Chain A
Protein backbone atom coordinates (compact mmCIF):
# COMPACT_ATOMS: atom_id res chain seq x y z
CA UNK A 1 0.00 0.00 0.00
CA UNK A 2 1.15 3.51 -0.68
CA UNK A 3 2.35 5.56 2.30
CA UNK A 4 -0.77 6.27 4.27
CA UNK A 5 0.78 7.42 7.48
CA UNK A 6 0.84 11.12 8.02
CA UNK A 7 2.63 13.01 5.34
CA UNK A 8 4.45 15.98 6.68
CA UNK A 9 3.80 19.37 5.20
CA UNK A 10 5.97 19.84 2.18
CA UNK A 11 6.69 23.44 3.11
CA UNK A 12 9.24 22.36 5.68
CA UNK A 13 12.19 22.03 3.33
CA UNK A 14 12.88 25.53 2.06
CA UNK A 15 15.80 24.38 -0.07
CA UNK A 16 13.67 22.45 -2.48
CA UNK A 17 11.23 24.48 -4.56
CA UNK A 18 7.75 23.03 -4.72
CA UNK A 19 5.71 23.39 -7.84
CA UNK A 20 2.09 22.47 -7.93
CA UNK A 21 0.20 22.09 -11.14
CA UNK A 22 -3.34 20.86 -10.83
CA UNK A 23 -5.36 19.41 -13.63
CA UNK A 24 -7.95 22.16 -13.43
CA UNK A 25 -7.88 25.20 -15.62
CA UNK A 26 -5.12 27.65 -14.91
CA UNK A 27 -6.79 30.33 -12.87
CA UNK A 28 -5.71 33.76 -14.02
CA UNK A 29 -4.59 36.27 -11.44
CA UNK A 30 -4.16 39.98 -11.89
CA UNK A 31 -0.40 39.83 -11.36
CA UNK A 32 0.00 37.21 -14.04
CA UNK A 33 -0.37 39.61 -16.95
CA UNK A 34 0.47 37.12 -19.66
CA UNK A 35 -2.08 34.63 -18.51
CA UNK A 36 -4.57 37.40 -17.97
CA UNK A 37 -4.28 38.41 -21.58
CA UNK A 38 -4.36 34.83 -22.73
CA UNK A 39 -7.62 34.46 -20.87
CA UNK A 40 -9.11 37.46 -22.63
CA UNK A 41 -8.01 36.29 -26.02
CA UNK A 42 -9.34 32.78 -25.42
CA UNK A 43 -12.64 33.86 -23.89
CA UNK A 44 -13.62 36.70 -26.19
CA UNK A 45 -12.02 34.95 -29.12
CA UNK A 46 -14.14 31.86 -28.69
CA UNK A 47 -17.26 33.98 -28.19
CA UNK A 48 -16.46 35.79 -31.41
CA UNK A 49 -15.88 32.52 -33.24
CA UNK A 50 -19.25 31.24 -32.06
CA UNK A 51 -20.99 34.38 -33.29
CA UNK A 52 -19.17 34.27 -36.63
CA UNK A 53 -20.01 30.62 -37.16
CA UNK A 54 -23.69 31.26 -36.47
CA UNK A 55 -23.83 34.33 -38.67
CA UNK A 56 -21.79 33.14 -41.62
CA UNK A 57 -22.55 29.44 -41.57
CA UNK A 58 -25.99 29.05 -39.96
CA UNK A 59 -26.23 25.60 -41.50
CA UNK A 60 -25.30 23.54 -39.55
CA UNK A 61 -24.00 25.77 -36.74
CA UNK A 62 -27.25 27.51 -35.88
CA UNK A 63 -28.92 24.10 -35.69
CA UNK A 64 -26.11 22.76 -33.50
CA UNK A 65 -26.20 25.67 -31.11
CA UNK A 66 -29.95 25.35 -30.93
CA UNK A 67 -29.70 21.64 -30.18
CA UNK A 68 -27.01 21.49 -27.47
CA UNK A 69 -28.27 23.92 -24.74
CA UNK A 70 -30.34 21.14 -23.14
CA UNK A 71 -27.02 19.36 -22.70
CA UNK A 72 -25.39 22.42 -21.12
CA UNK A 73 -28.10 22.44 -18.50
CA UNK A 74 -27.53 18.73 -17.78
CA UNK A 75 -23.76 19.25 -17.61
CA UNK A 76 -24.36 22.08 -15.18
CA UNK A 77 -26.65 19.99 -12.99
CA UNK A 78 -24.20 17.09 -12.93
CA UNK A 79 -21.31 19.40 -12.07
CA UNK A 80 -23.06 21.32 -9.31
CA UNK A 81 -24.66 18.21 -7.85
CA UNK A 82 -21.36 16.30 -7.84
CA UNK A 83 -19.34 19.14 -6.39
CA UNK A 84 -21.78 19.60 -3.51
CA UNK A 85 -21.78 15.91 -2.67
CA UNK A 86 -18.01 15.74 -3.18
CA UNK A 87 -17.50 18.63 -0.76
CA UNK A 88 -19.51 16.86 1.92
CA UNK A 89 -17.68 13.57 1.30
CA UNK A 90 -14.40 15.47 1.17
CA UNK A 91 -15.00 17.23 4.50
CA UNK A 92 -15.66 13.95 6.27
CA UNK A 93 -12.81 12.21 4.49
CA UNK A 94 -10.40 14.99 5.42
CA UNK A 95 -11.55 14.93 9.05
CA UNK A 96 -11.40 11.14 8.99
CA UNK A 97 -7.83 11.14 7.68
CA UNK A 98 -6.85 13.34 10.63
CA UNK A 99 -8.80 11.34 13.19
CA UNK A 100 -6.83 9.97 16.11
CA UNK A 101 -8.93 6.84 15.94
CA UNK A 102 -7.02 4.36 13.85
CA UNK A 103 -10.06 2.66 12.34
CA UNK A 104 -11.57 5.90 11.08
CA UNK A 105 -8.34 7.27 9.67
CA UNK A 106 -7.62 3.87 8.16
CA UNK A 107 -10.94 3.74 6.34
CA UNK A 108 -10.58 7.31 5.09
CA UNK A 109 -7.03 6.71 3.90
CA UNK A 110 -7.99 3.47 2.17
CA UNK A 111 -10.82 5.23 0.35
CA UNK A 112 -8.47 7.96 -0.86
CA UNK A 113 -5.77 5.54 -1.98
CA UNK A 114 -8.17 3.23 -3.81
CA UNK A 115 -10.00 6.01 -5.63
CA UNK A 116 -6.84 7.78 -6.64
CA UNK A 117 -5.43 4.60 -8.07
CA UNK A 118 -8.27 3.88 -10.50
CA UNK A 119 -8.94 5.87 -13.68
CA UNK A 120 -11.99 8.08 -13.42
CA UNK A 121 -13.65 6.51 -16.42
CA UNK A 122 -13.27 3.03 -14.98
CA UNK A 123 -14.65 4.21 -11.64
CA UNK A 124 -17.62 5.79 -13.32
CA UNK A 125 -18.48 2.56 -15.08
CA UNK A 126 -17.86 0.56 -11.94
CA UNK A 127 -19.87 2.69 -9.53
CA UNK A 128 -22.64 3.20 -12.06
CA UNK A 129 -23.14 -0.48 -12.65
CA UNK A 130 -22.48 -1.46 -9.05
CA UNK A 131 -25.12 1.03 -7.93
CA UNK A 132 -27.44 -0.32 -10.63
CA UNK A 133 -27.29 -3.77 -9.04
CA UNK A 134 -28.44 -2.53 -5.65
CA UNK A 135 -30.88 0.24 -6.42
CA UNK A 136 -32.56 1.40 -9.55
CA UNK A 137 -31.68 5.08 -9.79
CA UNK A 138 -32.12 7.47 -12.69
CA UNK A 139 -28.99 7.66 -14.84
CA UNK A 140 -28.37 11.26 -13.82
CA UNK A 141 -28.51 10.51 -10.09
CA UNK A 142 -26.15 7.57 -10.48
CA UNK A 143 -23.76 9.67 -12.51
CA UNK A 144 -23.77 12.43 -9.87
CA UNK A 145 -23.13 9.94 -7.08
CA UNK A 146 -20.33 8.29 -9.04
CA UNK A 147 -18.65 11.59 -9.83
CA UNK A 148 -19.01 12.67 -6.20
CA UNK A 149 -17.41 9.49 -4.90
CA UNK A 150 -14.50 9.95 -7.31
CA UNK A 151 -13.98 13.59 -6.53
CA UNK A 152 -14.65 13.19 -2.81
CA UNK A 153 -11.28 11.52 -2.44
CA UNK A 154 -9.46 14.46 -3.98
CA UNK A 155 -11.54 16.89 -1.96
CA UNK A 156 -10.66 14.91 1.15
CA UNK A 157 -6.98 15.50 0.51
CA UNK A 158 -7.64 19.20 0.00
CA UNK A 159 -9.54 19.43 3.28
CA UNK A 160 -6.85 17.47 5.09
CA UNK A 161 -4.08 19.68 3.78
CA UNK A 162 -6.12 22.80 4.52
CA UNK A 163 -6.80 21.77 8.10
CA UNK A 164 -3.17 20.78 8.63
CA UNK A 165 -2.00 24.14 7.32
CA UNK A 166 -3.56 25.89 10.32
CA UNK A 167 -0.96 26.27 13.09
CA UNK A 168 -1.26 23.74 15.92
CA UNK A 169 -1.52 26.56 18.45
CA UNK A 170 -4.97 27.51 17.16
CA UNK A 171 -6.39 24.15 18.17
CA UNK A 172 -4.52 24.29 21.48
CA UNK A 173 -5.85 27.75 22.24
CA UNK A 174 -9.40 26.72 21.43
CA UNK A 175 -9.13 23.56 23.52
CA UNK A 176 -7.56 25.52 26.39
CA UNK A 177 -10.66 27.68 26.47
CA UNK A 178 -12.71 24.58 27.14
CA UNK A 179 -14.01 23.92 23.63
CA UNK A 180 -14.34 20.30 22.68
CA UNK A 181 -12.82 18.99 19.46
CA UNK A 182 -15.85 19.60 17.26
CA UNK A 183 -16.44 23.09 18.61
CA UNK A 184 -12.80 23.99 18.02
CA UNK A 185 -12.92 22.50 14.54
CA UNK A 186 -16.15 24.29 13.60
CA UNK A 187 -15.43 27.65 15.20
CA UNK A 188 -11.69 28.04 14.88
CA UNK A 189 -10.01 25.64 12.46
CA UNK A 190 -12.44 25.20 9.56
CA UNK A 191 -13.25 28.90 9.08
CA UNK A 192 -9.54 29.53 8.68
CA UNK A 193 -8.98 26.44 6.55
CA UNK A 194 -11.71 27.50 4.11
CA UNK A 195 -9.61 30.40 2.92
CA UNK A 196 -6.72 28.06 2.27
CA UNK A 197 -8.73 25.42 0.46
CA UNK A 198 -10.89 27.67 -1.68
CA UNK A 199 -8.39 28.04 -4.54
CA UNK A 200 -7.77 24.29 -4.91
CA UNK A 201 -11.52 23.67 -4.62
CA UNK A 202 -12.08 26.16 -7.42
CA UNK A 203 -9.58 24.20 -9.48
CA UNK A 204 -11.38 20.97 -8.68
CA UNK A 205 -14.67 22.53 -9.71
CA UNK A 206 -13.35 23.41 -13.15
CA UNK A 207 -11.67 20.01 -13.47
CA UNK A 208 -14.92 18.32 -12.50
CA UNK A 209 -16.83 20.41 -15.00
CA UNK A 210 -14.60 19.09 -17.74
CA UNK A 211 -14.58 15.53 -16.44
CA UNK A 212 -18.38 15.59 -16.32
CA UNK A 213 -18.21 14.99 -20.07
CA UNK A 214 -17.36 11.40 -19.14
CA UNK A 215 -20.90 10.83 -17.90
CA UNK A 216 -22.04 11.05 -21.49
CA UNK A 217 -21.16 7.38 -21.80
CA UNK A 218 -23.61 6.57 -19.00
CA UNK A 219 -26.71 7.53 -20.95
CA UNK A 220 -26.80 10.99 -19.41
CA UNK A 221 -27.72 13.57 -22.02
CA UNK A 222 -25.05 16.12 -21.16
CA UNK A 223 -23.42 18.57 -23.52
CA UNK A 224 -21.09 16.04 -25.12
CA UNK A 225 -23.79 13.43 -25.54
CA UNK A 226 -26.17 15.91 -27.11
CA UNK A 227 -23.40 16.72 -29.54
CA UNK A 228 -22.85 13.04 -30.31
CA UNK A 229 -26.55 12.56 -30.93
CA UNK A 230 -26.67 15.50 -33.27
CA UNK A 231 -23.54 14.43 -35.11
CA UNK A 232 -24.77 10.86 -35.53
CA UNK A 233 -28.00 12.08 -37.12
CA UNK A 234 -26.50 14.67 -39.43
CA UNK A 235 -23.01 13.27 -40.04
CA UNK A 236 -21.57 16.73 -39.24
CA UNK A 237 -18.94 15.36 -36.86
CA UNK A 238 -16.33 18.05 -37.38
CA UNK A 239 -18.79 20.94 -37.08
CA UNK A 240 -20.56 19.50 -34.05
CA UNK A 241 -17.44 18.77 -32.05
CA UNK A 242 -16.07 22.18 -32.92
CA UNK A 243 -19.20 23.68 -31.42
CA UNK A 244 -19.08 21.40 -28.38
CA UNK A 245 -15.44 22.22 -27.71
CA UNK A 246 -16.15 25.94 -27.98
CA UNK A 247 -19.03 25.73 -25.53
CA UNK A 248 -16.90 23.80 -23.01
CA UNK A 249 -14.11 26.29 -23.43
CA UNK A 250 -16.36 29.30 -22.86
CA UNK A 251 -17.97 27.77 -19.77
CA UNK A 252 -14.63 26.70 -18.31
CA UNK A 253 -13.00 30.06 -18.89
CA UNK A 254 -16.01 31.84 -17.44
CA UNK A 255 -15.88 29.83 -14.22
CA UNK A 256 -12.09 30.16 -13.90
CA UNK A 257 -12.51 33.89 -13.98
CA UNK A 258 -15.41 33.87 -11.56
CA UNK A 259 -13.42 31.75 -9.11
CA UNK A 260 -10.34 33.94 -9.32
CA UNK A 261 -12.54 36.98 -8.64
CA UNK A 262 -13.96 35.26 -5.58
CA UNK A 263 -10.48 34.45 -4.37
CA UNK A 264 -9.37 38.01 -4.77
CA UNK A 265 -12.27 39.22 -2.70
CA UNK A 266 -11.63 36.68 0.00
CA UNK A 267 -7.95 37.45 0.26
CA UNK A 268 -8.78 41.16 0.30
CA UNK A 269 -11.08 40.52 3.25
CA UNK A 270 -8.22 38.58 4.72
Chain B
Protein backbone atom coordinates (compact mmCIF):
# COMPACT_ATOMS: atom_id res chain seq x y z
CA UNK B 1 0.00 0.00 0.00
CA UNK B 2 1.45 3.37 -0.95
CA UNK B 3 2.18 5.54 2.07
CA UNK B 4 0.36 8.65 0.96
CA UNK B 5 -2.96 6.82 0.62
CA UNK B 6 -2.84 5.61 4.19
CA UNK B 7 -5.38 6.87 6.67
CA UNK B 8 -4.15 9.64 8.94
CA UNK B 9 -4.57 8.42 12.51
CA UNK B 10 -3.32 11.61 14.10
CA UNK B 11 -3.34 15.04 12.56
CA UNK B 12 -2.01 17.98 14.55
CA UNK B 13 -2.28 21.44 13.09
CA UNK B 14 -0.49 24.43 14.58
CA UNK B 15 -0.86 23.21 18.13
CA UNK B 16 0.06 25.72 20.83
CA UNK B 17 0.23 25.01 24.53
CA UNK B 18 1.27 27.27 27.39
CA UNK B 19 2.18 26.39 30.94
CA UNK B 20 1.72 29.75 32.51
CA UNK B 21 4.02 31.94 30.44
CA UNK B 22 6.12 29.07 29.19
CA UNK B 23 5.34 28.03 25.66
CA UNK B 24 5.40 24.24 25.85
CA UNK B 25 4.21 23.65 22.30
CA UNK B 26 4.90 26.21 19.63
CA UNK B 27 2.87 25.75 16.44
CA UNK B 28 3.41 22.01 16.23
CA UNK B 29 2.03 20.21 13.22
CA UNK B 30 2.38 16.49 12.85
CA UNK B 31 0.64 13.68 10.99
CA UNK B 32 0.82 10.04 11.95
CA UNK B 33 -0.40 7.54 9.41
CA UNK B 34 -2.15 4.28 10.09
CA UNK B 35 0.43 1.68 11.07
CA UNK B 36 3.23 4.18 11.31
CA UNK B 37 5.71 4.13 14.19
CA UNK B 38 6.84 7.59 15.19
CA UNK B 39 9.50 8.06 17.82
CA UNK B 40 9.86 11.46 19.44
CA UNK B 41 13.19 12.39 20.96
CA UNK B 42 14.60 15.54 22.43
CA UNK B 43 16.00 17.06 25.60
CA UNK B 44 13.84 17.18 28.71
CA UNK B 45 11.47 20.10 28.75
CA UNK B 46 11.32 20.16 24.97
CA UNK B 47 7.59 19.41 24.91
CA UNK B 48 7.69 15.73 23.87
CA UNK B 49 5.46 14.51 26.67
CA UNK B 50 3.12 17.46 26.34
CA UNK B 51 2.72 16.73 22.65
CA UNK B 52 1.97 13.08 23.35
CA UNK B 53 -0.45 13.84 26.16
CA UNK B 54 -2.34 16.34 24.02
CA UNK B 55 -3.17 13.54 21.57
CA UNK B 56 -5.65 12.04 24.03
CA UNK B 57 -6.41 15.36 25.65
CA UNK B 58 -4.70 14.77 28.96
CA UNK B 59 -3.47 18.29 28.31
CA UNK B 60 -5.79 20.99 27.07
CA UNK B 61 -4.27 22.96 24.21
CA UNK B 62 -4.37 26.72 23.77
CA UNK B 63 -4.35 26.85 20.01
CA UNK B 64 -4.49 24.73 16.87
CA UNK B 65 -6.43 21.53 16.28
CA UNK B 66 -5.86 17.83 16.76
CA UNK B 67 -7.70 15.11 14.88
CA UNK B 68 -7.59 11.50 15.97
CA UNK B 69 -8.85 9.12 13.30
CA UNK B 70 -10.59 12.11 11.70
CA UNK B 71 -12.30 13.32 14.88
CA UNK B 72 -11.55 16.82 16.13
CA UNK B 73 -10.84 15.95 19.77
CA UNK B 74 -10.98 19.52 21.04
CA UNK B 75 -14.43 20.06 19.59
CA UNK B 76 -16.68 20.55 22.65
CA UNK B 77 -19.34 18.36 21.02
CA UNK B 78 -17.00 15.38 20.87
CA UNK B 79 -17.22 12.80 23.63
CA UNK B 80 -13.57 12.55 24.60
CA UNK B 81 -14.17 9.28 26.45
CA UNK B 82 -15.15 7.64 23.15
CA UNK B 83 -11.95 8.89 21.55
CA UNK B 84 -9.84 7.69 24.46
CA UNK B 85 -11.26 4.19 24.14
CA UNK B 86 -9.41 4.01 20.83
CA UNK B 87 -6.17 5.55 22.05
CA UNK B 88 -4.01 3.49 24.39
CA UNK B 89 -1.61 5.29 26.68
CA UNK B 90 1.40 3.93 28.54
CA UNK B 91 2.98 6.10 31.23
CA UNK B 92 6.48 6.45 32.57
CA UNK B 93 5.20 5.66 36.07
CA UNK B 94 3.12 2.63 34.89
CA UNK B 95 0.02 3.81 36.77
CA UNK B 96 -1.31 0.30 37.22
CA UNK B 97 -4.16 0.16 39.71
CA UNK B 98 -2.62 -1.01 42.99
CA UNK B 99 -5.92 -2.11 44.55
CA UNK B 100 -6.71 -4.49 41.70
CA UNK B 101 -5.09 -7.75 40.72
CA UNK B 102 -3.29 -7.99 37.41
CA UNK B 103 -6.35 -9.66 35.93
CA UNK B 104 -8.70 -7.00 37.30
CA UNK B 105 -6.39 -4.28 35.95
CA UNK B 106 -6.94 -5.73 32.51
CA UNK B 107 -10.66 -6.41 32.77
CA UNK B 108 -11.86 -3.26 34.57
CA UNK B 109 -12.12 -0.90 31.62
CA UNK B 110 -13.26 -3.67 29.30
CA UNK B 111 -16.24 -4.29 31.57
CA UNK B 112 -16.96 -0.71 32.64
CA UNK B 113 -16.28 1.05 29.34
CA UNK B 114 -16.56 -1.56 26.60
CA UNK B 115 -19.42 -3.32 28.40
CA UNK B 116 -17.95 -6.73 27.79
CA UNK B 117 -19.03 -9.68 29.89
CA UNK B 118 -16.67 -10.79 32.61
CA UNK B 119 -15.94 -14.04 30.80
CA UNK B 120 -15.15 -12.29 27.55
CA UNK B 121 -12.98 -9.71 29.27
CA UNK B 122 -11.10 -12.39 31.21
CA UNK B 123 -10.46 -14.42 28.09
CA UNK B 124 -9.07 -11.43 26.25
CA UNK B 125 -7.01 -10.42 29.28
CA UNK B 126 -5.52 -13.90 29.50
CA UNK B 127 -4.55 -13.77 25.84
CA UNK B 128 -2.83 -10.43 26.33
CA UNK B 129 -1.04 -11.55 29.48
CA UNK B 130 0.33 -14.45 27.45
CA UNK B 131 1.46 -11.97 24.86
CA UNK B 132 3.36 -9.84 27.37
CA UNK B 133 4.61 -12.94 29.16
CA UNK B 134 3.09 -12.73 32.63
CA UNK B 135 0.32 -15.33 32.69
CA UNK B 136 1.46 -16.80 35.99
CA UNK B 137 0.99 -13.46 37.75
CA UNK B 138 -2.64 -12.88 36.85
CA UNK B 139 -3.84 -13.08 40.46
CA UNK B 140 -0.96 -11.06 41.90
CA UNK B 141 -1.26 -7.47 43.00
CA UNK B 142 0.96 -4.88 41.29
CA UNK B 143 3.18 -4.38 44.34
CA UNK B 144 4.21 -8.03 44.04
CA UNK B 145 5.57 -7.35 40.54
CA UNK B 146 8.81 -5.87 39.32
CA UNK B 147 8.76 -2.55 37.50
CA UNK B 148 9.18 -4.26 34.15
CA UNK B 149 6.28 -6.59 34.87
CA UNK B 150 4.11 -3.69 35.99
CA UNK B 151 4.83 -1.82 32.80
CA UNK B 152 3.97 -4.89 30.73
CA UNK B 153 0.69 -5.16 32.65
CA UNK B 154 0.04 -1.50 31.84
CA UNK B 155 0.67 -2.18 28.15
CA UNK B 156 -1.63 -5.21 28.20
CA UNK B 157 -4.27 -3.16 30.00
CA UNK B 158 -4.23 -0.61 27.19
CA UNK B 159 -4.27 -3.29 24.51
CA UNK B 160 -7.32 -4.91 26.09
CA UNK B 161 -9.36 -1.97 24.83
CA UNK B 162 -8.35 -2.77 21.23
CA UNK B 163 -6.93 0.68 20.59
CA UNK B 164 -6.24 1.91 17.11
CA UNK B 165 -3.18 3.77 18.26
CA UNK B 166 -0.81 3.43 21.19
CA UNK B 167 0.98 6.32 22.87
CA UNK B 168 4.06 5.61 24.99
CA UNK B 169 5.35 8.32 27.32
CA UNK B 170 8.92 7.34 28.22
CA UNK B 171 7.82 3.80 29.07
CA UNK B 172 11.25 2.60 30.19
CA UNK B 173 12.60 5.70 31.94
CA UNK B 174 11.52 4.57 35.42
CA UNK B 175 12.88 1.04 35.00
CA UNK B 176 16.03 -0.58 36.26
CA UNK B 177 18.36 -1.23 33.31
CA UNK B 178 17.89 -5.00 33.35
CA UNK B 179 14.13 -4.62 32.91
CA UNK B 180 14.17 -2.25 29.98
CA UNK B 181 14.67 -5.01 27.46
CA UNK B 182 11.55 -6.98 28.38
CA UNK B 183 9.36 -3.91 27.92
CA UNK B 184 11.01 -2.90 24.65
CA UNK B 185 10.53 -6.47 23.37
CA UNK B 186 6.79 -6.22 23.95
CA UNK B 187 6.75 -2.89 22.12
CA UNK B 188 8.73 -4.32 19.23
CA UNK B 189 6.25 -7.18 18.92
CA UNK B 190 3.43 -4.65 18.78
CA UNK B 191 5.27 -2.70 16.12
CA UNK B 192 5.73 -5.81 14.00
CA UNK B 193 2.03 -6.52 14.23
CA UNK B 194 1.34 -3.17 12.61
CA UNK B 195 0.10 -1.11 15.54
CA UNK B 196 0.20 2.64 15.05
CA UNK B 197 2.57 3.92 17.69
CA UNK B 198 3.84 7.24 18.94
CA UNK B 199 6.71 6.75 21.36
CA UNK B 200 8.55 9.29 23.46
CA UNK B 201 11.78 7.66 24.53
CA UNK B 202 15.47 8.00 25.13
CA UNK B 203 16.13 4.47 23.90
CA UNK B 204 18.01 5.21 20.69
CA UNK B 205 18.47 1.53 19.89
CA UNK B 206 14.72 1.08 19.90
CA UNK B 207 14.23 4.19 17.80
CA UNK B 208 16.72 3.00 15.22
CA UNK B 209 15.20 -0.46 15.01
CA UNK B 210 11.49 0.29 15.11
CA UNK B 211 10.82 3.84 14.00
CA UNK B 212 9.50 4.67 10.56
CA UNK B 213 10.15 8.26 11.42
CA UNK B 214 12.04 10.03 14.15
CA UNK B 215 11.06 13.47 15.34
CA UNK B 216 13.44 15.72 17.18
CA UNK B 217 11.86 18.34 19.41
CA UNK B 218 13.43 21.31 21.12
CA UNK B 219 11.83 24.28 22.87
CA UNK B 220 8.32 23.15 22.07
CA UNK B 221 8.85 22.82 18.34
CA UNK B 222 9.67 20.04 15.90
CA UNK B 223 13.18 20.87 14.81
CA UNK B 224 13.89 17.99 12.49
CA UNK B 225 12.27 14.78 11.32
CA UNK B 226 13.27 11.92 9.13
CA UNK B 227 14.09 8.23 8.87
CA UNK B 228 16.40 6.61 11.42
CA UNK B 229 19.15 6.43 8.75
CA UNK B 230 18.92 10.15 8.19
CA UNK B 231 18.99 10.83 11.90
CA UNK B 232 21.79 8.66 13.03
CA UNK B 233 24.08 9.15 10.03
CA UNK B 234 23.48 12.61 8.80
CA UNK B 235 21.27 14.97 10.85
CA UNK B 236 20.95 18.40 9.29
CA UNK B 237 20.47 20.57 12.36
CA UNK B 238 23.33 21.53 14.66
CA UNK B 239 21.02 21.20 17.68
CA UNK B 240 20.16 17.63 16.69
CA UNK B 241 23.81 16.73 16.24
CA UNK B 242 24.62 18.14 19.65
CA UNK B 243 21.77 16.23 21.31
CA UNK B 244 22.71 12.96 19.63
CA UNK B 245 26.33 13.37 20.55
CA UNK B 246 25.32 13.82 24.17
CA UNK B 247 22.97 10.87 24.29
CA UNK B 248 24.71 8.25 22.17
A positions within 8 Å CB-CB of B: 167, 169-170, 172-180, 183, 187-188, 191-192, 195, 270
Contacting pair B93 A167 (CB below 8 A)? yes
In the complex, what residues of A have CB within 8 A of residue B158's CB? 176-177
- At the interface, yes or no: B84 with Cβ under 8 Å from chain A? yes
A-B pairs with beta carbons under 8 A, tally: 65
Contacting pair B84 A175 (CB below 8 A)? yes
In the complex, what residues of A have CB within 8 A of residue B108's CB? 177, 187-188
Contacting pair A169 B97 (CB below 8 A)? no
Closest chain A CB from B123 CB (angstroms):
18
Bound CA–CA A187/B109 (angstroms):
9
Main secondary structure of the interface of A (DSSP, over half): helix
Bound CA–CA A75/B137 (angstroms):
49
Closest chain B CB from A78 CB (angstroms):
33
Residue of B nearest to A170 (CB): B95
- At the interface, yes or no: B146 with Cβ under 8 Å from chain A? no
- At the interface, yes or no: B58 with Cβ under 8 Å from chain A? yes
Per the CB 8 Å criterion, the residue count for chain B at the interface is 27
Contacting pair A177 B95 (CB below 8 A)? no
Contacting pair A178 B93 (CB below 8 A)? no
Q: A178-B109, A270-B141 are in contact. Are A191 and B99 (CB under 8 A)?
A: yes
Residue of B nearest to A173 (CB): B95
In the complex, what residues of A have CB within 8 A of residue B85's CB? 177-178
Select which of A178, A180, A183, A192 is within 8 A of B99 by beta carbon.
Answer: A192
Bound CA–CA A177/B98 (angstroms):
16
- At the interface, yes or no: B143 with Cβ under 8 Å from chain A? yes
Contacting pair A179 B97 (CB below 8 A)? no
In the complex, what residues of A have CB within 8 A of residue B161's CB? 177-178
Bound CA–CA A175/B97 (angstroms):
12
Bound CA–CA A232/B80 (angstroms):
68
In the complex, what residues of B have CB within 8 A of residue A187's CB? 108, 112
Contacting pair A180 B81 (CB below 8 A)? yes
Bound CA–CA A167/B143 (angstroms):
15
- At the interface, yes or no: B7 with Cβ under 8 Å from chain A? no
